Amino acid sequence: MGGVAWTEEEDQLLKKCIERYGEGKWHRVPLLAGLNRCRKSCRLRWLNYLRPNIKRGSFAEDEVQLIIKLHKLLGNKWSLIAGRLPGRTANDVKNFWNCHLSKKLCARETEEECNQSAMNVETITPHPARSISMTGSTKQRTQDYHVAPNSLPAIKESSMSMPFNFFGVDQQGHDQLVKEERDIRVQEPAGGLFIGDLTTEDHRFGQFDEVNVLSRADEGCSKWDWDDLMLDMDLWTDSL
């Protein structure tokens, strides 16, 4: 291996130490646990191997698809990608990518490039059937999203009191307040971060070709980062 392998005894010592003192303060762990390992080794061993609920074994097809999608959006941000795959560690995801996906995708891309140039076909981006644009209060960013009805992700328990106003754009191009929502429910941290109440099934949205979601700047920002929010909008819409 890359270094000296951990023994069963060392694992037990580390596990007991974390159970007793909790995670964090890694600089103290070697001393507290009585281990002849550096803080980084202890942290890594815990995060990648000893931590409860770590999923072992091969990646399921849906996990693979999610990794590909996330990597497209985030690049080599393994910890962020792993954060959205319950039970998977950043190291697992990174290894899996390096061993399996990078080669596979590279081969596929080369093949596609050959096909493209051979056929001289122009790629056409489909026009969204219905779009949603979002504007954050702290980081201005607007983008159109394709939203298909009845295909929204499941909502898990969590919430943030971030006020949003839903504006519909009518046929004359005028904004109309459709809905005011305070509690935007989200899924976090491991399974992603989705806006829960943004639903085109809402009959009030049906009359509009476009819905704008605007946070109210006067209320400040929540603990969730807009980048996360936007990422999940990307994921959500990309999967449709």
Partner DNA sequence: AACTTATCCAACCGCCGCTAC
Partner DNA sequence: AGTAGCGGCGGTTGGATAAGT
Residues making contact with DNA (CB under 7 A): 1-6, 24-28, 37-41, 43-45, 48-49, 76-80, 90-92, 94-96, 98-100
Residue 207 CB, nearest approach to DNA (Å): 43
Place of tokens 């979002």: 134
Alpha-carbon distance 88 to 77, whole Å?
14
Q: Which is nearer to DNA, 80 or 190 (CB)?
A: 80
Measuring CA to CA, which residue among 57, 63, 43, 226 is closest to residue 138?
226
Q: Which is nearer to DNA, 24 or 220 (CB)?
A: 24
Q: Which pairing describes strands 159-169 and 210-215: parallel, antiparallel, or unpaired?
A: antiparallel
Which H helix or E strand runs over 103? helix 102-119
Residue 154 CB, nearest approach to DNA (Å): 25
Residue 29 CB, nearest approach to DNA (Å): 7
Six-digit token pair at 202? 């809402």
Q: Which pairing describes strands 131-135 and 210-215: parallel, antiparallel, or unpaired?
A: parallel
Q: Which is nearer to DNA, 3 or 52 (CB)?
A: 3
Residue 229 CB, nearest approach to DNA (Å): 18
Angle at alpha carbon of residue 75, lines to 47 and 211, rounded to 5°: 110
Residue 72 CB, nearest approach to DNA (Å): 14
Alpha-carbon distance 62 to 240, whole Å?
14
Q: Which is nearer to DNA, 35 or 152 (CB)?
A: 35
Q: Which is nearer to DNA, 35 or 214 (CB)?
A: 35
Alpha-carbon distance 94 to 90, whole Å?
6
Residue 91 CB, nearest approach to DNA (Å): 5
Q: Which is nearer to DNA, 77 or 156 (CB)?
A: 77
Residue type, 161: S
Q: Which is nearer to DNA, 94 or 130 (CB)?
A: 94
Residue type, 48: N
User: What phi, psi does 165 have (nearest 5°)?
Assistant: -110, 135
Six-digit token pair at 23? 């995670």
Residue 56 CB, nearest approach to DNA (Å): 8
